Copies of this chain bind each other. A is one copy, B any other.
Amino acid sequence: MDSERLVELLEKVRNEKISIPRAVAQLRHLPYEDLGFAKIDHHRAIRQGFPEVVLGQGKSPEDIAAIVRAMRRHKNNILITRLNPEKVARIKKGVRGLEYHPTARAATWIGKPIKSIGKGVILVVCAGTSDIPIAEEAVLTAMMMGNRVERLFDVGVAGLHRLLENRPRLDEATVLIVVAGMEGALPSVVGGMIDKPVIAVPTSIGYGASFNGLSALLGMLNSCAAGVTVVNIDNGFGAGFAASLINRV
């Protein structure tokens, strides 16, 4: 329709129903959506096969259900993150076909088959069993974005043999997501073993001077292994999203 308005204007120009200076002025004052700036288009992501994403935290079940129902019309796949089990039952009443992933604390609604877009394998590594929920959020995000994803869990640095035994799996991955709480040392060790992009995810696992993930975050930012980049504490979704972008490069 944006095009329609433009075509209409240009036809007026051709038919000399409008002077050129006035046409220039109108073009300047058309609102952005009328000029149809596809480049700043918020539907951009969806056309590329990304799911629509809803941050469940801080929204009521009713609001989430309403958002999902509106989104469903476009038949796009939908990912709802940071969703407590308590809310799910109430959302499900209003939204059929919603699947809840309890470990990842996320829900999905599949409107069309997920296109396989990623080139290689994204390997999600985590240090301890308590880090698994965040790791699973990353796994689910990357899967919804069309990637093959593998898991390597519970390989923290205090038991190095567990990591060393799985070296081939590290080598075969294209991108790695490394999830760890406490001192957050695992990304440094993994980053020192391979030549692949490593996305580090600090978790809020720990107590006392872990300060809800601050210790792990600082550790990862100061990693002595080059090639490690970091996302926010507990941000499994962000890591999965960034890894997906890298896996399409």
Contacts and interface: CB of A to CB of B under 8 A. Distances in A.
- Sorting the interface of chain A by its residue count into under 10, 10 to 19, 20 to 34 or 35 or more gives 35 or more
A221 B192 contact: no
A189 B127 CA distance: 13
Contact of A241 (B31, B218, B227, B230): B227
B215 A182 contact: no
Interface in A11-62: 11, 13-14, 16, 20-21, 23-24, 27-28, 31-42, 44-45, 48, 50, 53, 55, 57-59
A13 B15 CA distance: 9
Interface string A208-221: 11111111111111
Interface of A is mostly: helix
Nearest to A168: B31
Contacts of A84: none
A37 to B, nearest CB: 5
Interface string A91-117: 000000000000000000000000000
Contacts of A210: 218, 222, 232
Interface in A61-98: 63, 82
A229 B242 contact: yes
Given A157-B224, A208-B232, A6 B33 contact: no
Given A196-B245, A221-B230, A160 B189 contact: yes
B193 A40 contact: yes
A42 B14 CA distance: 33
B225 A221 contact: no
A142 to B, nearest CB: 12
Contact of A34 (B36, B218, B225): B36
A27 B12 CA distance: 16
- In the A-B complex, the 10 residue pairs with the smallest Cβ-Cβ separation, listed nearest first, are A208-B233, A185-B185, A158-B192, A229-B229, A40-B161, A215-B218, A158-B225, A183-B219, A32-B165, A226-B241
9 contacts: A6-B24, A7-B24, A42-B162, A44-B195, A119-B249, A157-B189, A158-B224, A199-B229, A207-B233
